[in-house]
Amino acid sequence: MATFNTDTQIKSMLELTDNQDAAKAELMVPMIEEFGEAPLLPTKEGGINGSAFREDAKTETRQAEANKVGLTLDKAEALARIIRELNASRPSGWQDYQIAHFGLERIKPKKEPKAPTAEDLEIAAIIADRKLIAEDKAKVGAALKIAKAELTLAKAQGDKDAESAAQTEVVALEQDRDLHKADLAEKKSELDELRGGKKSAPLHDAAQALLTRLNKSKLLDNVGSMTLNEIIAAL
């Protein structure tokens, strides 16, 4: 096996373009031989955390991260340097190599869309209803303009029968328009209430979790005389 050289490895990895996945996978082979597979995984899966090797990081921090991923400090620093320089060349530089070896689904799994809740479905239904009501209201508004024009014309011509018929039509359409306005206002109120409840749900859950912890810690009896910082410190 050839001796691993960090500088040579970085140079070779930086030279590859975005679409050379096979070549990238090949360049991951000496990386695995040198560092093992686990440290090359994303940090959330147990891979090395490059932020532990910032210039201002303490030796203790670096050593702890090296121990965590099962590498000597020298090897951990070499791996962190490779990742740092690849990412400096382009934002996804290191991730592209991870994908080439581990596969896209392992490195960037697709997020499953959340199933809509009952509230989501109700909100969607109200929005659909509002759209239909608004469309009907627009049609009524257009018909009302015509009826008012006919009423004005009948008055100008002194045609009492036509005036009476037009007046009846105007009144009916105005009532219809007002009903549509009221329906829209009611739907808006329902929508605001549902959306407000949806927004406040996380806060409600957090408050419930805090209350549970207070009960378990037996602080509930004294909480009225404590500051928030004191409560947090005591939990």
- Report the 3 state secondary structure along the chain: CCCCCHHHHHHHHHHCCCCCHHHHHHHHHHHHHHHCCHHHCCHHHCCCCHHHHCCCCCHHHHHHHHHHCCCCHHHHHHHHHHHHHHHHHCCCHHHHHHHHHHCHHHHCCCCCCCCCCHHHHHHHHHHHHHHHHHHHHHHHHHHHHHHHHHHHHHHHHCCHHHHHHHHHHHHHHHHHHHHHHHHHHHHHHHHHHHHHHHHHHHHHHHHHHHHHHHHHHCCCCCHHHCCHHHHHHHC
Say if residue 67's pLDDT is above 70: yes
Q: Are 173 and 144 in contact (CB under 8 A)?
A: yes
Residue-averaged pLDDT of the chain: 86
Residue 172 has pLDDT above 80, yes or no: yes
Of the listed ranges 11-20, 26-35, 219-228, the least confidently predicted one is 219-228
Structure tokens that stand for 141 in this block:
């508004």
| pLDDT given at position 113 | 82
**CA distance linking residue 4 with residue 229, whole number of Å:** 52
Model pTM score: 0.50
pLDDT of residue 216: 65
* pLDDT exceeds 70 at position 115: yes
Reply yes or no on whether the pLDDT at 191 is more than 90. Answer: no
Whether the pLDDT of residue 39 is over 90: the answer is: yes
Determine the straight-line distance between the first and last CA of the chain, rounded to whole angstroms. 55
- Could you give the angle at which helices 73-89 and 21-35 cross, rounded to 10 degrees? 160
Question: What are the C-alpha distances in Å from 130 to residues 1, 123, 125, 141?
Answer: 71, 11, 9, 16
Closest CA relative to residue 93, chosen from 41, 16, 8, 6:
16
19 confidence band (pLDDT: 50, 70, 90): low
Report d(CA 145, CA 176) in Å as an integer. 13
